[in-house]
Structure formats: C-alpha cells, structure tokens
Amino acid sequence: MPGKIDAYVDCVSPYSYYATLYLRKNRKALESHGVEVEFHPVFLGGINVGSGNKPPWTLPAKANYSTFDSERACKYFGVPQIKTPDFFPILSIFPQRCMIYVKNNFPREKYETTFLSLWEWMYYKGVDISKPEKIGELFQSNGFSDSEIKAILAAASSPEIKQALTDNTQKALDKGAYGAPWFWVRNAEGKEEPFFGSDRFAFMWQYLGLPFQDVTLVEKESSKL
C-alpha cells in the first residue's frame, strides 16, 4: 500500500484507547485509499524517561485539565466515561509484552480486539491488568485456550519478547516520540512525518492527501417573525 500509519500505543494511555478505536472505525475507508494501519505495543514509561517527558498525572495543572479533557474525549469518541481505578497508573510492561506475543502469533482482529479489552477491563471493570493472573482471565474471556494463555504468559517473561518491547519503544523514541499515542505516517509520495495524540487526525488526513469532512460550525438560522 502506498500509505501507512504506524501507531505506537500503550494500555496505560487512555488516549491510545481513543486513537485505536478511531483508526479501527475508519480502517475500511483508509484501506480504500491504500492506507494501512498497524498498532505497535510500546512501554510509555520508557518513552517518558527516554524523552524527558512527564505523565499528566504527575503535573497538577495537567492532572486538573485531564479531568475535563477525558470527559470530552469520551463523548467525542462515543464511549462511556472512563473510571480511573485506585491502582492507576499501572506498570504496563507485562501486558504490553503479552500483546507483542499475541500480535506475532494470532490473527490481526484477535490481536486488536484483545488489545482493546486491556483498556476496557482496567477502566470499566476496575481490573489490575498488570497482574498475570488477572490478564490470564482477560485472555480467557477473549476466547484463548488454556494452553494458549500459558504460552502467552510464559512468553511475556522471555528474553525475546522483553527485547521486542524494548525495540518497539526505542523505535518510537528514534522517531521523536514523547508520549502515546505516537504515529509515524508515510504518504503516497513516500514522505514520512510524526503525529501525536488522538486529536490530530484531520492533520493526518491532509498529510495523506485523503478526502475528508472537517468539523464545520453551522450558523444558527434567524428566527422568523
């Protein structure tokens, strides 16, 4: 395909959740224009350290604003208001490693829907998915067999999968990432640029040269006497 969106996402990032939902919703339209979408698990904690950034919940001004922004984002993307559990933020290394293995060994649809369930279980069910026994239950609910779950959990502690997550995270850093979701986008001309966040899709569509309908403010009609 002439165009591609590489999306670097982490289950600890609610904005990665919104972006994943939105890109999957629009995948058919993107593919009709020859644009591929691929989701890459990364460790956001490593990106923050590597870039010198700080997560929003550690800065009072950002944390206060996030309360408003989260509610607005949920309304815009058509999902229930997320509920931040008392154990948040989690150390997302283990679930992200699991998703590396799932991506490499299962069909794309199962990988992506399972990835979405990480956010859903944490934000809507209040489950600490960083714990192996809890994420094992999550995989079971997604139709994985006992032997498959055993293989996923074992792989998440293997040197190969540990290195794969490190490599993904470093690749995002090398492409300028300082948070998630981070996108590396190639257009039909072969040019590549970064995009950040779940609210820059209009800019991305422009860069890709895709036809789209932007947000248009409708003028109120004058009342008739």
Q: Where are the domains of the chain?
A: 3-208
**Catalytic residue positions, numbered:** 13
36 close to 1: Cβ distance less than 8 angstroms:
yes
Question: What is the pLDDT, as a whole number, of residue 223?
Answer: 62
CA angle 70, 46, 98 (to 5 degrees): 80
Nearest-10 crossing angle of helices 108-124, 14-25: 140
6: which 2 tokens? Answer: 């590489």
Question: What is the pLDDT, as a whole number, of residue 1?
Answer: 56
Chunk the chain into consecutive blocks of 10 residues (it has 225) and report each block's average pLDDT, rounded to whole numbers: 92 96 97 97 97 86 88 94 92 98 98 98 97 97 98 98 98 97 97 96 96 91 68
Question: What is the pLDDT, as a whole number, of residue 224?
Answer: 59
Residue in 20, 126, 1, 18 with CA at minimum distance from that of residue 71: 18
For domain 3-208, the CATH superfamily is Glutaredoxin (3.40.30.10)
7 close to 181: Cβ distance less than 8 angstroms:
yes
43 close to 165: Cβ distance less than 8 angstroms:
yes
